[in-house]
Structure 1
Amino acid sequence: MEDQPADSGDLTTGADTEATADVEAASDVASAGASVGASDGMPEDASDQAPDEAAAPAEPVLVPHRPPGRGAKMAALAGAALFVVAAAFAGANAAPYLTDRALVQVKLDIAGTAADAITTLWTYTPEDMETLPDRAAKFLGGDFQAEYRKYIDAIAAPNKQAQVSNNTQVLGAAVESLDADSASAIVYTNSVATSPVTKNIPSLRYLSYRLNMEKRGTDWLITQMNAITSLDLTPRL
């Protein structure tokens, strides 16, 4: 028998056919092995497994109480001592300050009373001069109250007849000395008197007084009054 020529369109030889058969068999065996492995209890991905039960909360850790050490106690004692010293220092400095303020306030009260008293004692008109002792009484004490009333009673009639008006303005007042229940004050005044008798030409006088005052209850009363200076500036025509 003669050999038949191979078909030019068939590139598969016998050896190639056997090799192809072997590859297909190996592929079938691998596929079968993979299927068996998947169904034979092989471990799966951890993400596919069911989560374990939630972890129980941790038990609190109790720490035994420890008393403060010696250093902490010493620091606390030092802080307390510093506070006491600071408070004592503040109190020691506050006491003189408060005393000085109280003394200044007393002097202001005395000077104010002296100024109000002098203004009242030497300010009057013909119409109200007779009641002047009663208006001034609240500022006066002791024998001086009676002396002032006697003096005003003596000049009331002639001043009323001459239609004399007097106005006294306090220019300044100061406390000269001060004890627990007595004081001395100086008052500077400008006094102007007018009368039809003198054609209403003002009589100008600058006067200063020293007042002795005593404390009666909460009031300071004048018990004595002396003129220190008197300067008459009345125009002479």
Structure 2
Amino acid sequence: MEDQQSEPGAVTDESSGLDVEPIAEDGDQLHEAGDDHDGELDAQPEPESDEDEASPAAEPPARRKLGIRLAGVVSAAAFVGAAAFAAGAAQPYLIDRAEVAIKLDIARTAARAIHTLWNYTPENMDTLPDRASVYLSGDLEAQYRKFIDAIADSNKQAKVTDSTEIVGAAVETLDGPEATVIVYTNTTATSELSRSIPQIKYLTYRLYMKRDQNRWVVTRMPTITSLDLTPRLQG
């Protein structure tokens, strides 16, 4: 049962701030209109008023600094908002990738389980139950061990060799610590009793699996499709 896989990628957050230029207030420009006099009198300059001292040229630097600080605050707020948006958009993507990785792990485990259970020779049948126990839960392990013990002697005597090829595997359901997996196989069995004519079957299993600490194990594995493709000799 193989994947997220998709099986990596990198998520890059780009954010931009808003630059706000401070707006200077235009002071009132004071214009003096001199009176035109006919005669000897010269116009005397009027003393500078307080309003002249408050012209834009004399605007204190504190006001300009305040405008710059406000622009920086707005820019920082925009940056934080953009980063939060990018993180929110990336979260579903990361969750999907994690789920894909879990499904790949389940599918690989199911495929390895079926491959181990149904690949054996007369020479290694005695160790088959121990090798298969890694993938099976307690009850199913006991049932499989009992089944192999029952056929081991006759299979070794008839020199039965069972070879199973995994055609495909797919996670059907995933609900927390439980999952179901469909595994498609082609199985070929040969023995001296069949005059070396292989028995060929196309089998599909549904594996019920659960998470046991840090690994997935099979609790049930009913056959849902069985198609016999063994050649028939005309007699």
Query: Is TM more than 0.5 here?
Result: yes
Q: Match for 2:92 among 83, 86, 96?
A: 96
* SS of structure 1 residue aligned to 2:166: strand
Q: State the alpha-carbon separation in 1 of the partners of residues 74 and 61 from structure 2.
A: 24
1:205 aligns with 2:201: yes
Indicate the SS of the match to 1:69: helix
Shift of 1:102: 0.3
Greater RCO (CA < 8 Å, at least 6 residues apart): 2
Cα deviations across residues 138-184 of structure 1 (Å, max 9, x unaligned)? 00113111011111111111111110000001000000111111110
Partner of 1:75: 71
The aligned counterpart of 1:124 is: 120
Following the alignment from structure 1 to structure 2, what is the Cα–Cα distance between the partners of residues 101 and 175?
A: 15
Kindly state the Cα deviation for residue 89 of structure 1 after the two structures are TM-superposed.
0.6
| 2:134 is the counterpart of 1:143 | no
* Identical pairs, percent: 57
Counterpart in the other structure of 1:178:
174
Q: Structure 2 CA distance, aligned partners of 1:183 and 1:66?
A: 67
Partner of 1:228: 224
Deviation readout 1:180-226 (Å, 9 max, x if unpaired): 11110000000000112111111110000000001011100001110
- Structure 2 gaps, min length 5: 1-59
Deviates further, 200-209 or 69-78 = 69-78
Q: Give me the whole-angstrom Cα distance separating, in 2, the residues matched to 1:65 and 1:74.
A: 14
TM-score normalised by L of structure 2: 0.72
Q: Paired residue for 2:184?
A: 188
1:214 is aligned, of 210, 213, 219, to: 210
The aligned residue for residue 110 of structure 2 is 114
Matched with 2:164 is 168
What is the Cα deviation at residue 74 of structure 1? 2.1
SS at match of 2:137: coil
Instruction: State the distance in 1 between where 2:131 and 2:138 align.
Output: 16
Task: Supply the distance in 1 between the matched residues of 2:64 and 2:122 (Cα, whole angstroms).
Answer: 89
The SS at the match of 2:221 is strand
Larger CA Rg, structure 1 vs 2: 1
